[in-house]
A and B are shown apart, each in its own frame.
Chain A
Amino acid sequence: MNDETKSKVSRRTFLKGLGGGAIGTAVISTGLIKSDSVEAYTPETSSGARAKTALNLKVNGKSYKVEVEHRNTLAEVLRDQLGLTGTKIGCDRGECGACTVIIDGRNLYSCSQLAVWMQGKDILTIEGLAKGDKLDPLQEAFIEHDGPQCGFCTSGQIMSGKALLMKNAKPNEAQARRGLSGNLCRCGNYNREVAAVLAVAAKAR
């Protein structure tokens, strides 16, 4: 399913609605134009003309049409425009991993990906892991094994763990540690996080 059919307002309609290049109007400045059943935050933005691009973001299987400044990172857009604040920003410079999301199957720091690069990519965030009320097995394992202490790194740990399990359903401990090694946990709960990944691996066939 492409994003035009999924979104109620297609990209074409959306562009037409802008009246041909009227970038920077009040409508535009609300950031999020339209999405399916997702409540958007609409921070006031500068009226100054800055480089902006409209694009489709495919996040957790939903299409979002957004207007982003070129300097906006994916982490910022997820949090500020889409309200998907489960993705945290711990350092904003590609060191801590709190912002880890899965992009086309790879765990990546969303603070180090510009939003404008995301056209056509498939983005999975912590909010997209559960199927309705049913948690992902890794989320369940994180609860059982006390994965979160303060919980601020937890989304990132889970997304790196998930990316690993998607590639390798039965990682050993060394592989699990390596797979999560880009995710810092200052509470020092590393052994719990690894145990959660290994618990899911142990159940895999």
Chain B
Amino acid sequence: MAQAPKEFSIVGKRIPRIDAYERVTGQAQYTGDIQLPGMLYARVLRSPHPHARILGIDTSKAEKLPGVKAVVHHENAKVPWSSGGHTHQRFIFNNPVRFVGDAVAAVAATDRHIAEDALKLIEVKYEKLPHVLDANEALKPDAPKIAPQGNLSVGKGNFSAPIEESWGDLDKGFKEADRVFEDTYITKHTNNAQMERRVSIAKWDAGKLTVFASTQGVSNARTDIAKDFNLPLSKVRVLCKYMGGGFGNKNQAQDYDYMAVVLARVAGQPVKVEFTREDDYIGMHGRWASEQRYKIGVKKDGTITAVSLDAVTTMGAYRKQSGNLSGTDFYNIPNFKKVILPVHTNTVVAANYRAPAYPQSVFGFASFLDQIAFEMGVNPVDMFMRNRVQKYKSKLPFTSNYLEQCIIEGSKRIGWNEKWHKPGAMGGQKKHGIGMALGGYPFRPGLGAATIRVNPDGTAHVLVGVTDIGTGAKTTMAIIASEALGIPLNQIQLTNGDTDVTPYSVGESGSRTTPFTGPAVIAAAEDVRRQIFNLAAGQLKVKAEELDLRNSEVFVKADPAQKLPLGRVVSRAGEIIGRATTNPSFKDVEGKSFSAHFAEVEVDAITGHVKITRYVAAHDSGTIINRLAAESQIMGGVVQGIGMAFTEELIIDKLTGIPVNPNYRDAKVPTHLEVPEVEVIFIEHYDPYGPFGGKVVGEPPITAAVATIANAIFNATGKRIKELPITPDKILQARQV
């Protein structure tokens, strides 16, 4: 457990990204920007049926098209795709196909249009199979079976089982309650919709495979590729220097990486697989839809005595991630039980999207709590304050928990006490509303690695495996290195995202980069400093322990006038290399970043349109490493929440199983015009377990946003919308009821 230093030299300042110049000049080279000599372009053919057996596939016409160099499909490329932790076997091309968009074949050609033309020449004979699109229907005994074990998805241990968790005594809890409420909340499948389409380039050189991926994790992408292609790790190199967003499962290796690898092998030339935007919507994954049935017992003052949650989550045709719902995490629930059924359907796969298990279930639970507050005559801010989580699962203390301060400061900033009114009490066409909800995300430490080289001129080179998916992770690591080394940021170069060069990284997902790799950077810096002090001790004729390094000068702590320029010390050794692999863990504590969000809205009673007029996001993320990027993260998470609250839903035709809006315009991601000012408050306290006291920032901001907006709409209209997205028609319908 580290003590907070009195003062940081750079941590906590507003630091522009170290690669901002490259990003504003167009010089940043993303995966799709890479051109290799002789490179082919590939496109993917997808199933038009939600469930069908492929009886035959004739590629002869496609192969005859001039420029076509390779065509692969389930018969000639049986490649398992095991990444993502699902336990039943999936291939890059499957037979039967199990959703509209399941990959059937891929073509590599000398240009992308020839590859597109070739797709149209592939003749596939399908035998249609019965399909099921709805999770509740899929659970019925006579439903078409999508996975061999049945439609209740397989979890860890390779058997079909619900996700279950409980503590306390549920019956006792409900008996203690003055009132018990039951209701159901529904959320829909939404797509990550990152701006960079999925792309991968593979090339083979004398048995060595290089993959330029668009991945959130080069290390785990390499592990997956090596495993599924049965290659030694040393023969696989994965690079990702710049990455155009992921928000979830661009982590690990994906089927398009594998298709590039196979096509490059068959064609004997480098291959770039490019997904179209439609491929991205229908072929990959989005956030799992959910139906959440709650039973909540409360005392007269609103205190929760017991909660049960029965839910189904729609996972699509294959299981990639948990399908869990964790929105109850932010509340003190003495007696609790949840049973969640992740269900297979003949629809696009559901997997990780920013805070995977949270915004949908925070919407459900915090909406219902807000409703119960109304029924019990309790002010929502008191309801949330009274029930805020204080111990993890009613048991373990948190490493730090300033949720209370988030509520206090956030409600003060928005003026809750002056502005809150009875729901639906405002007259006129434009109805004012105000709402709030609690959120956050687990903060856990884990395996990280870093290498730091200090050059003979005193400049430093930091090597980390992390990719930077937009969070500013490269800058965060450079700031941590600068602070820990005592070398100014502008003297530090950072190399990232190359498995042949940079050390292991967990992958930039689950808000893990700072707590996993941050401590390794600090430890590597300490290794460097130890070596420098040993060298300088002789030169300055003092003991190594008496030395310090700041601003690229090595000096005697007791007499700072006795000093040496860093370069002079290092040049004697040629260079200094420090390295560290760290794997901190928690004992009898749990970690979480927390937030309380507040919004004011204006609901047009005639059109049903909602305008967010003010948004306040108060966050406890421990020490903020880079204030500028951290604020941007908070704003961005809120904006994604706005999309989920109001517009986003992948709509699947009930008859054919075809997604009808797989594009930006029709799936309606927020634009410049829908976004309010977002006021960010950081409740900053040093967390003893985080690097320089920092917890996590990336995932928390989306968690509370949807529920916050929903609760503000309720305050304006007095009508509860229990199904996302909250579109104008739902608001108008609710008003008429």
- A interface residues, Cβ below 8 angstroms from B: 41, 43-48, 69, 71, 79-80, 83-93, 95-96, 98, 125-127, 129-130, 135, 139, 142-144, 146-155, 158, 177-178, 180-181, 183-194
Distance, CA A129 to CA B242, complexed state (A): 21
B647 nearest CB across to chain A (Å): 13
B143 nearest CB across to chain A (Å): 35
CB pair B195–A147 under 8 Å, yes or no, is: no
B188 nearest CB across to chain A (Å): 18
Per the 8 Å Cβ criterion, residues 223-272 of B in contact with A are 242-245, 247
CB contacts (< 8 Å) of B640 on chain A: these are 186, 188
Distance, CA A179 to CA B74, complexed state (A): 47
CB pair A85–B17 under 8 Å, yes or no, is: no
CB contacts (< 8 Å) of B17 on chain A: these are 143, 146, 148
Closest chain A residue, CB of each to CB of B630: A146
A92 nearest CB across to chain B (Å): 7
Which listed residue (B25, B195, B277, B470) contacts A92, Cβ 8 A? B277
A46 nearest CB across to chain B (Å): 4
B431 nearest CB across to chain A (Å): 23
A48 nearest CB across to chain B (Å): 4
Per the 8 Å Cβ criterion, residues 568-591 of B in contact with A are none
Distance, CA A34 to CA B110, complexed state (A): 22
| Across the A-B interface, the 8 shortest Cβ-Cβ residue pairs | A86-B26, A188-B639, A150-B470, A152-B244, A188-B636, A151-B23, A85-B33, A126-B26
Distance, CA A127 to CA B27, complexed state (A): 8
CB contacts (< 8 Å) of B637 on chain A: these are 188
A-B contact pairs, 29 of them (CB 8 A): A41-B35, A43-B110, A44-B38, A44-B110, A46-B66, A46-B111, A85-B33, A88-B32, A88-B196, A89-B32, A96-B664, A126-B26, A142-B24, A143-B20, A147-B20, A148-B470, A150-B195, A152-B196, A154-B24, A180-B672, A186-B669, A187-B195, A187-B245, A188-B635, A188-B637, A189-B639, A190-B671, A191-B677, A191-B678
Distance, CA A80 to CA B39, complexed state (A): 11
CB pair A191–B675 under 8 Å, yes or no, is: yes
CB pair A45–B110 under 8 Å, yes or no, is: yes
| B1 touches A (CB below 8 Å) | no
B599 nearest CB across to chain A (Å): 15
CB contacts (< 8 Å) of A143 on chain B: these are 16-17, 20-21, 24
Distance, CA A43 to CA B272, complexed state (A): 12
Which listed residue (B30, B35, B242, B675) contacts A43, Cβ 8 A? B35
A196 nearest CB across to chain B (Å): 9
CB contacts (< 8 Å) of B633 on chain A: these are 149
Per the 8 Å Cβ criterion, residues 616-647 of B in contact with A are 628-629, 631-633, 635-640, 642
CB pair A187–B470 under 8 Å, yes or no, is: yes
CB contacts (< 8 Å) of A46 on chain B: these are 66-67, 109-111, 114
CB pair B663–A95 under 8 Å, yes or no, is: yes
CB contacts (< 8 Å) of B29 on chain A: these are 85
Contact A79-B665, Cβ < 8 Å, known A48-B66, A189-B635: no
Distance, CA A189 to CA B638, complexed state (A): 10
CB contacts (< 8 Å) of B672 on chain A: these are 177-178, 180-181, 183, 185, 190, 193-194
CB pair A186–B194 under 8 Å, yes or no, is: yes
B27 nearest CB across to chain A (Å): 7
Which listed residue (B32, B39, B244, B664) contacts A150, Cβ 8 A? B244
Q: What string of 1s and 0s marks CB contacts (under 8 Å) between B346-377 and chain A?
A: 00000000000000000000000000000000
Distance, CA A77 to CA B66, complexed state (A): 21
Distance, CA A130 to CA B24, complexed state (A): 10
CB pair B663–A91 under 8 Å, yes or no, is: yes
CB pair A91–B277 under 8 Å, yes or no, is: yes
Contact A152-B665, Cβ < 8 Å, known A79-B33, A87-B26, A143-B20: no
CB pair B632–A189 under 8 Å, yes or no, is: yes
CB contacts (< 8 Å) of B245 on chain A: these are 149-150, 152, 186-187
CB contacts (< 8 Å) of A180 on chain B: these are 672
CB pair B27–A86 under 8 Å, yes or no, is: yes
CB contacts (< 8 Å) of A155 on chain B: these are 26
Which listed residue (B25, B639, B673) contacts A139, Cβ 8 A? B25
A91 nearest CB across to chain B (Å): 4
CB contacts (< 8 Å) of A191 on chain B: these are 635, 675, 677-678
Distance, CA A155 to CA B113, complexed state (A): 25
Per the 8 Å Cβ criterion, residues 299-315 of B in contact with A are none
CB pair A188–B670 under 8 Å, yes or no, is: yes
Which listed residue (B632, B675, B677) contacts A149, Cβ 8 A? B632
A41 nearest CB across to chain B (Å): 5
| B197 touches A (CB below 8 Å) | yes
Distance, CA A90 to CA B276, complexed state (A): 9
Which listed residue (A69, A87, A91, A188) contacts B664, Cβ 8 A? A91
CB contacts (< 8 Å) of A92 on chain B: these are 197, 276-277
Distance, CA A71 to CA B114, complexed state (A): 11
Q: What string of 1s and 0s marks CB contacts (under 8 Å) between B638-674 and chain A?
A: 1110100000000000000000000111000111110
B555 nearest CB across to chain A (Å): 33
Contact A152-B195, Cβ < 8 Å, known A48-B66, A90-B277, A194-B672: yes
Closest chain B residue, CB of each to CB of A158: B24
Per the 8 Å Cβ criterion, residues 441-492 of B in contact with A are 469-472
CB pair B26–A184 under 8 Å, yes or no, is: no
CB contacts (< 8 Å) of B675 on chain A: these are 188, 190-191
Distance, CA A151 to CA B16, complexed state (A): 13
| B62 touches A (CB below 8 Å) | no
CB pair A93–B26 under 8 Å, yes or no, is: no
A30 nearest CB across to chain B (Å): 12
Distance, CA A69 to CA B276, complexed state (A): 20
Most central of B195, B277, B673 by chain A CB within 10 Å? B195
Closest chain A residue, CB of each to CB of B109: A46
Distance, CA A197 to CA B595, complexed state (A): 30
| B28 touches A (CB below 8 Å) | yes
CB contacts (< 8 Å) of B469 on chain A: these are 150
CB contacts (< 8 Å) of B21 on chain A: these are 135, 143
Most central of A71, A89, A155 by chain B CB within 10 Å? A89
Contact A90-B197, Cβ < 8 Å, known A46-B110, A95-B664, A126-B25: yes
Distance, CA A92 to CA B670, complexed state (A): 19
CB pair B38–A184 under 8 Å, yes or no, is: no
CB contacts (< 8 Å) of A187 on chain B: these are 195, 245, 470, 632, 636
Which listed residue (B28, B110, B673) contacts A177, Cβ 8 A? B673
| B523 touches A (CB below 8 Å) | no
Which listed residue (B38, B39, B113) contacts A69, Cβ 8 A? B113
CB contacts (< 8 Å) of A41 on chain B: these are 35
| B193 touches A (CB below 8 Å) | yes
CB pair B671–A148 under 8 Å, yes or no, is: no
Distance, CA A181 to CA B665, complexed state (A): 13
B281 nearest CB across to chain A (Å): 10
Contact A185-B276, Cβ < 8 Å, known A83-B35, A85-B26, A93-B663: no
Closest chain A residue, CB of each to CB of B631: A146
CB pair A125–B26 under 8 Å, yes or no, is: yes
Contact A142-B636, Cβ < 8 Å, known A150-B245, A180-B672: no
Given contacts A45-B111, A126-B24, 4 further A-B contacts (CB under 8 A): A84-B26, A185-B195, A188-B640, A191-B675
Q: What string of 1s and 0s marks CB contacts (under 8 Å) between B128-162 and chain A?
A: 00000000000000000000000000000000000
B728 nearest CB across to chain A (Å): 20
CB contacts (< 8 Å) of A178 on chain B: these are 672-673
Closest chain A residue, CB of each to CB of B677: A191
Which listed residue (A44, A84, A95, A177) contacts B665, Cβ 8 A? A95
Closest chain B residue, CB of each to CB of A80: B35
A67 nearest CB across to chain B (Å): 13
Distance, CA A201 to CA B276, complexed state (A): 36
CB contacts (< 8 Å) of A142 on chain B: these are 20, 24
CB pair A47–B195 under 8 Å, yes or no, is: no
